[in-house]
Amino acid sequence: MTDTALIVVAAGSGTRLGRGVPKAFAEVAGAPILEHALRGLAAIDAALVVVVPAGLEADAAVIAARAGVTVSVVVGGETRADSVAAGLDAARDARWVLVHDAARALTPAAQVERVIAALRAGASAVVPVLPVVDTIRAVTPASLAEPDELGAIVDRAGLRAMQTPQGFDATVLRRAYAEADARVASTDDAQLVQALGLPVAAVRGDDLAFKITTPADADRAESLLGPAIRVGVGADVHAFGGDGPLRLAGLEWEGQGLEGHSDGDAVCHAIVDALLGAAGLGDIGGLVGVDDPQHAGAHGEVFVRAAVARLAEHGWRPVNVAVQVLGVRPRIGTRRDEAQGALSAMVGAPVSVSGTTTDGLGALGRGEGVQAIATALIRR
């Protein structure tokens, strides 16, 4: 059991982002902001507590599953302080507690580890910070009808921009929240601890840990995250000699069938290995077994659709597949469009098929079998 809890605050309304949904559930680069945040925390040795708006608990659980993490989901309150308090209640057994904004979805794991290391080294409160690089000028707040009046430039050498996660001795943070109403109104946890008269340590922050608040922030995150793209290659070969009809590329052809436990469709089998390999999910043997009785004589489409479903379970989807068929027969070009249509329907993405021979070289050149080599592109 870990002695550290990491509270991910995802209960904000996201009004300034303007997506019409709570900010953590708005999509950026093909996934909710919360999903990106949780993926970045997957390797951290801490119990994850996610605080969400009422009614979105099930959505958060699904997002966490896609991100590959185990979380406790709790409902937040009207204010950030209420949401953190709810998270603290769920993390009651932790010795150390980190409070993190889901909106800082690109925060590197190394930054989280720096905070944890400082706590374990004896700090009771730790905040990641960055130097302020912009020129900062004080203003005199104006009325709605008048512009702000500019005041003096503030010496930025003495300023730091604060980030999350902020880390705390759990006992200290609970005490800070218990006394907060009587002392100071704040949206910052470290400030509440300072109000107790306790020091707050600083560790190095990271430019990637910026907060997604406005549409411009979302655009920046989109450009940095981009689509997660992977490529996989699969190959399969079967000899002629099967008892059934010749099946290849999801179609039935004239001539003797291919040997194999299933229908011997080397094209479909190569596609399966390419898709699974791209996602790091093994191969066709691990997906359906090489001699499972229920797949005796099964068509290649069964395996392709199973591979696509497995990818979806892990947050991946095919973008396109290209297959090269090597052999004397059948002549792929005579039914290329039909084969491409059948395979594309299975994969749910464009599949291109081409054929070639080996100029009479080897077993394939002698017409003893067929080989297929597939290349798959997938994305999150």
pLDDT by position in tens, the chain (length 380) = 689 999 999 998 878 887 788 999 999 988 999 999 999 999 999 999 999 999 999 999 999 999 999 999 999 998 888 999 999 999 999 999 999 999 999 999 999 999 999 999 999 999 999 999 999 988 876 555 566 778 889 999 989 999 999 999 999 999 999 887 644 556 789 999 998 999 999 999 999 999 999 999 999 998 888 767 899 999 999 999 878 899 999 999 998 888 877 788 999 999 999 999 999 888 888 877 656 556 566 888 999 999 999 999 887 899 999 999 999 999 999 999 999 999 999 999 999 999 999 999 999 999 999 999 999 999 87
Compute the radius of gyration of the chain from its Cα atoms.
28
What predicted TM-score, i.e. pTM, was given to this entire model? Answer: 0.63
Beta pairing partners, 324: 354, 373
Q: Which residues contact 337 (CB under 8 A, 6 or more apart)?
A: none
Cα–Cα distance list, 374 to 233, 289, 362, 371 (Å)? 6, 20, 21, 10
Structure tokens at 156: 């930025």
The residue written with tokens 């709790």 in the block is 74
Helix axes 57-67, 33-41, angle to 10 degrees: 50
Q: Which residues contact 299 (CB under 8 A, 6 or more apart)?
A: 247, 250, 262, 263, 265, 268
